[in-house]
């Protein structure tokens, strides 16, 4: 085993120990949660893991995630070892693990296996869903997760197919996870060899000049091939932004469905087609024309709903796709240009349906600002006088990258400044915020759904008044993270907690608390939590009471509802929970802020943010002046008729730096003009 892999394995095991200790959780449960989070963020799976530990002779299941829209059921089984000397994952272990999880599915699918399980458990919900919804399941993906290393002699089990279900086997050992993290990619590479998967050649027409930096092609893809690709890769084909996810996860367009089923020959004429990108293309000249042999990392940046509708019509309606053809614009984008060009391609391909949330990529200014706060704002000193920071990971792998290629001493120093347990991601932040917006049923639907809801709102509000997202917002967000983690620990440490549905109970408990505050017409004192980096005794006492009663209500749903996990996703569940009459100690109410006190804090925070914006604007103006870019920016703006005379005059001053200097207000004016020009295609290195 290489030293980097050994270090990664040891580091991952330590993360498991830390998470398990913090939440008083089983090692295997923390291992699964951390591993599944990596798979979710990488795009390997698109729904959060639901723990469902169950084992008996010949059977083992540890977790699942289910995408009802696509009929894809992911079943997880783990082989976890706390012994670093136990390194090899053998063929015997692999075969046994897959056999035990297969037995679980077969019994749940063919028999009323759920009837022998305890109704209040997640494994009951899973077995019940499999049996009752068997007609909806089109694909079962078995995942074996391990912190061991797969033996070189071991073989991966090939996929198989029954009459109506595809079975796919995935082994994720620690070396595969290491490779994914080391690559710093959003997902594992997708290689599509069209010669292998399609008997019909896929022809294309070049749509670029040889002098251009990028290459584009026009092609027509058969509906059956498109559905096959979506079936195999699912959400991994979708560029990771809000719009595309909404397109594919929203309700299937009735007009599209009707055309596919009743007038398939007219689909090509009616549909706008797809906008796609890929990192590499392999072509072959033939007598019939230019043929695409393979693509690397194909992404659908516009047309998610078209793709999902075709796939759904094939799967659910058994539609004949033989007459369905879809036009495709394909652009080859080099890996180092993906973050810059792909968001623009997505945005401009969709201008008829602008979504402000948009383009909520990791380089959206909201994420950049929160990241900036997390890198420079220290927590208040503790009893020992020590300070540290929270780490906001706006792009996947940032924390790991920060530690890469560092000595042990350097790593220790970084980890003291940014403790691993103080790492939060974009999807984490969305959950922390959404539970305080009293939409726990949205959070219960999983990280992606929660993020979508959050992104839609923040995108609009950012455009309206970005100064709302200031240092006070950041500190309040971290306070919400502390409350969230405290609630997790409160439930895990409780004698009444029986292992399942903690995530749902956390979301509903905090929303119940937030609703209490709202009814008082007061505000929770988040700054107090930030200043102490923990909740007050009064808040902890309130959580002790709320969590137990919410959990009991949540796990005992109304008559006729047997699936707690699905019930928690319904707005009706929140309607029921918020009607609970839970008596909270008076001390909690006494700590709430009056409206006028809260408004004073907000006003001061906006004022400070206004100053920060001006400083950042001046800094950017000088940076671009040093690179002699302002005259180029001015020329682009005039050519596109996008600059006012005042903006032109101010840019002329910027061109003359350092002989002339702009004021802070003037800098803000031309930086705003710069951003407008970037929106219409200006690209600066």
Q: Is residue 583 part of a domain?
A: yes
d(CA 77, CA 62) in angstroms, rounded, equals 5
The mean predicted confidence, pLDDT, of the chain is 84
Region of 211 please: left (phi>0), alpha (psi -120 to 50) or beta: alpha
Q: Which residue has the tokens 């006190």?
A: 597
Residues 176 and 159 in one domain: yes
Residue 303 contacts by C-beta under 8 Å, 6 or more apart in sequence? 247, 272, 273, 274, 275, 276, 326
Summarised one tens digit per residue, pLDDT across range 474-484 is 999 999 999 99
**How confident is the model over 624-647, as a mean pLDDT?**
87
Summarised one tens digit per residue, pLDDT across range 290-302 is 999 999 989 888 8
Residue percentage of the chain with pLDDT more than 90: 32
Residues 344 and 443 in one domain: no
The region of weakest confidence among 134-148, 235-249, 429-443 is: 235-249
Strand 280-286, strand 289-296: pairing? antiparallel
Strand 215-222, strand 325-332: pairing? antiparallel
Most confidently predicted of 32-41, 58-67, 211-220: 58-67
Looking at residue 218, what is its pLDDT? 95
Looking at residue 679, what is its pLDDT? 67
Among candidate residues 322, 311, 319, 217, the one with its CA nearest the CA of residue 268: 322
SS3 174: helix
- Boundary (domain end) residue, out of 333, 353, 373: 353
Residues 556 and 466 in one domain: yes
178 pLDDT exceeds 80? Answer: yes
**What letter does residue 273 receive in the DSSP assignment?**
-
Confidence of residue 357 (pLDDT cuts 50, 70, 90): very low
Residue 107 contacts by C-beta under 8 Å, 6 or more apart in sequence? 59, 113, 127
- Cis bond upstream, residue 279 (ω within 30): no
Residue 408 contacts by C-beta under 8 Å, 6 or more apart in sequence? none
Looking at residue 349, what is its pLDDT? 56
Q: Where are the beta strands (DSSP E) in 197-253?
A: 203-206, 215-222
Q: Is residue 118 part of a domain?
A: yes
Residue 536 contacts by C-beta under 8 Å, 6 or more apart in sequence? 528, 529, 591
Q: How far is CA 115 from the centre of its chain?
A: 35
Residues 369 and 340 in one domain: no
Residues 55 and 176 in one domain: yes
Residue 528 contacts by C-beta under 8 Å, 6 or more apart in sequence? 536, 591
Looking at residue 602, what is its pLDDT? 65
Q: Is residue 383 part of a domain?
A: yes
Radius of gyration of the chain (CA): 27
Residues 78 and 220 in one domain: no
d(CA 448, CA 163) in angstroms, rounded, equals 32
Q: Is residue 114 part of a domain?
A: yes
Segments forming the whole domain that contains residue 93:
3-183
Q: Which residue has the tokens 């991601």?
A: 425
Q: Would you say 514 and 435 are in contact if contact means Cβ atoms under 8 Å apart?
A: yes
Q: Is residue 360 part of a domain?
A: no
> Would you state the structure tokens that stand for residue 480, as one six-digit string?
């919400």
Domains in the chain, number: 4
**How confident is the model over 586-594, as a mean pLDDT?**
91
> Would you state the structure tokens that stand for residue 548, as one six-digit string?
């137990």
Q: Is residue 563 part of a domain?
A: yes
**How confident is the model over 624-648, as a mean pLDDT?**
87
Would you tell me how many other CB atoms lie within 10 Å of the CB of residue 395? 16
Residues 216 and 155 in one domain: no
Angle between helices 537-554 and 471-492 (to 10 degrees): 60
Q: Would you say 510 and 435 are in contact if contact means Cβ atoms under 8 Å apart?
A: yes
SS (H, E, C) 51-110: EEEEEECCEEEEEEEEECCCCEEEEEEEECCCCCCCCEECHHHHHHHHHHHHHHHHHHHH
**How confident is the model over 237-242, as a mean pLDDT?**
57
Most confidently predicted of 258-267, 302-311, 523-532, 574-583: 574-583
Confidence of residue 571 (pLDDT cuts 50, 70, 90): very high
Confidence of residue 342 (pLDDT cuts 50, 70, 90): low
Greater model confidence, 515 or 122: 515
Q: Where are the beta strands (DSSP E) in 229-353?
A: 274-278, 280-286, 289-296, 299-302, 325-332
Residue 203 contacts by C-beta under 8 Å, 6 or more apart in sequence? 219, 220, 288, 289, 290, 291, 292
Count CA atoms closer than 13 A to 202's CA, side-chain side. 29
Among candidate residues 102, 163, 162, 108, the one with its CA nearest the CA of residue 131: 108
Q: Is residue 685 part of a domain?
A: no
Element (H, E) at 225: helix 223-233
Residues 121 and 218 in one domain: no
Q: Would you say 666 and 650 are in contact if contact means Cβ atoms under 8 Å apart?
A: yes
Residue percentage of the chain with pLDDT more than 70: 87
Residues 219 and 317 in one domain: yes
DSSP string, 302-338: E-HHHHHHHHHHHHHS----TT-EEEEEEEE--GGGH
The residues facing 222 across adjacent strands are 325
Looking at residue 241, what is its pLDDT? 45
d(CA 213, CA 561) in angstroms, rounded, equals 58
583 pLDDT exceeds 90? Answer: yes
**What letter does residue 192 receive in the DSSP assignment?**
E
Would you tell me how many other CB atoms lie within 10 Å of the CB of residue 473? 20
d(CA 34, CA 63) in angstroms, rounded, equals 13
Summarised one tens digit per residue, pLDDT across range 440-466 is 999 998 887 888 888 888 878 888 878
**How confident is the model over 579-595, as a mean pLDDT?**
91
Looking at residue 685, what is its pLDDT? 58
**How confident is the model over 521-544, as a mean pLDDT?**
93
Element (H, E) at 171: strand 166-172
d(CA 79, CA 154) in angstroms, rounded, equals 15
**How confident is the model over 275-292, as a mean pLDDT?**
92
Most confidently predicted of 42-46, 436-440, 460-464: 436-440
186 pLDDT exceeds 60? Answer: no
Phi, psi of 143 (to 5 degrees): -115, 125
CA distances from 128 to 45, 188, 486 (A): 22, 33, 32
Residues 176 and 66 in one domain: yes
- Boundary (domain end) residue, out of 130, 164, 183: 183
- Boundary (domain end) residue, out of 183, 206, 231: 183
Residues 555 and 612 in one domain: no
Residues 327 and 382 in one domain: no
Q: Is residue 684 part of a domain?
A: no
Confidence of residue 333 (pLDDT cuts 50, 70, 90): confident
318 pLDDT exceeds 50? Answer: yes
**How confident is the model over 388-401, as a mean pLDDT?**
85
The region of weakest confidence among 180-184, 207-211, 508-512 is: 180-184
**How confident is the model over 501-505, as a mean pLDDT?**
91
Greater model confidence, 278 or 340: 278
Would you tell me how many other CB atoms lie within 10 Å of the CB of residue 150? 22
**How confident is the model over 302-321, as a mean pLDDT?**
83
Distance between start and end Cα atoms, the chain: 40
């Amino acid at each position: 085993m290489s030293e980097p892999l050994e270090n990664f394995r040891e580091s991952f095991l330590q993360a498991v120990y830390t998470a398990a200790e913090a939440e008083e959780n089983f090692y295997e449960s923390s291992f699964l949660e951390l591993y599944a989070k990596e798979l979710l963020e990488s795009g390997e799976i698109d729904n959060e893991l639901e723990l469902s530990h169950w084992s008996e002779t010949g059977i083992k299941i540890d977790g699942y995630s289910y995408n009802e829209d696509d009929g894809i059921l992911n079943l997880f089984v783990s082989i976890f070892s706390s012994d670093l000397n136990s390194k090899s994952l053998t063929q015997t272990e692999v075969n046994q693990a897959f056999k035990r999880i297969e037995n679980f599915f077969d019994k749940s699918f063919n028999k009323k296996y759920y009837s022998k399980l305890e109704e209040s458990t997640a494994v009951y919900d899973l077995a019940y869903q499999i049996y009752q919804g068997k007609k909806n399941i089109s694909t079962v993906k078995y995942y074996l997760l391990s912190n061991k290393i797969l033996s070189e002699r071991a073989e991966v089990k090939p996929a198989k197919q029954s009459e109506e279900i595809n079975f796919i086997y995935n082994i994720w050992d620690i070396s595969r996870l290491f490779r994914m993290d080391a690559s710093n990619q959003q997902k594992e590479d997708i290689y599509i060899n069209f010669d292998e998967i399609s008997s019909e050649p896929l022809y294309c027409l070049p749509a670029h000049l040889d002098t251009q930096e990028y290459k584009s092609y026009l092609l027509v893809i058969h509906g059956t091939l498109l559905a096959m690709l979506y079936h195999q890769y699912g959400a991994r084909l979708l560029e990771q932004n809000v719009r595309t996810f909404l397109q594919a996860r929203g309700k299937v367009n009735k007009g599209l469905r009707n055309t596919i089923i009743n007038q398939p020959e007219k689909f090509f004429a009616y549909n706008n087609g797809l906008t796609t990108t890929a990192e590499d293309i392999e072509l072959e000249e033939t007598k019939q024309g230019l043929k695409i042999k393979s693509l690397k990392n194909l992404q659908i940046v516009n047309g998610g709903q078209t793709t999902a509708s075709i796939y759904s019509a094939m799967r659910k309606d058994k539609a004949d796709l033989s007459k369905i053809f879809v036009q495709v614009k394909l652009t080859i984008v080099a890996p180092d240009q993906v973050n810059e060009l792909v968001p623009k391609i997505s945005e401009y391909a969709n201008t008829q349906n602008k979504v402000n949330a948009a383009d909520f990529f990791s380089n959206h200014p909201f994420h950049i600002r929160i990241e900036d706060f997390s890198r420079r704002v220290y927590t208040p000193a503790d009893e020992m006088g020590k300070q540290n920071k929270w780490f906001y990971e706006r792009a996947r792998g940032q924390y790991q990258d920060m530690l890469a290629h560092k000595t042990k001493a350097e790593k220790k120093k970084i980890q003291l400044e940014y403790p691993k347990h103080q790492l939060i991601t974009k999807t984490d932040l969305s959950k922390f915020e959404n539970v305080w917006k009293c939409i726990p049923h949205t959070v219960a639907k999983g990280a992606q759904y929660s993020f979508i809801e959050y992104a839609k709102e923040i995108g609009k509000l950012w455009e309206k008044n970005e100064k709302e997202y200031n240092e006070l917002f950041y500190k309040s967000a971290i306070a919400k993270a502390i409350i969230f983690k405290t609630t997790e620990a409160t439930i895990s440490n409780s004698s009444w907690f029986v292992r399942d549905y903690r995530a749902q109970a956390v979301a509903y408990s905090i929303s119940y608390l937030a609703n209490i505050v709202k009814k008082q017409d007061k505000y929770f004192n988040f700054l107090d939590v930030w200043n102490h980096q923990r909740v007050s005794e009064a808040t902890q006492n309130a959580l002790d009471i709320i969590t137990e009663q919410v959990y009991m209500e949540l796990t005992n749903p109304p008559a006729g509802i047997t699936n707690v996990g699905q019930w928690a996703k319904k707005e009706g569940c929140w309607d029921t929970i918020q009607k609970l009459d839970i008596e909270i100690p008076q001390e909690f109410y006494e700590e709430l802020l009056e409206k006028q006190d809260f408004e004073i804090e907000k006003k001061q925070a906006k004022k400070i943010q206004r100053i920060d914006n001006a400083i950042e604007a001046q800094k950017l103006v000088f940076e671009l002046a040093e690179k002699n870019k302002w005259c180029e920016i001015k020329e682009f703006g005039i050519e596109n008729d996008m600059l006012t005379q005042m903006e032109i005059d101010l840019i002329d001053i910027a061109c003359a730096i350092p002989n002339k200097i702009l004021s802070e207000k003037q800098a803000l004016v031309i930086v705003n003009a710069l951003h407008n020009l970037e929106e219409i295609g200006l690209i600066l290195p």
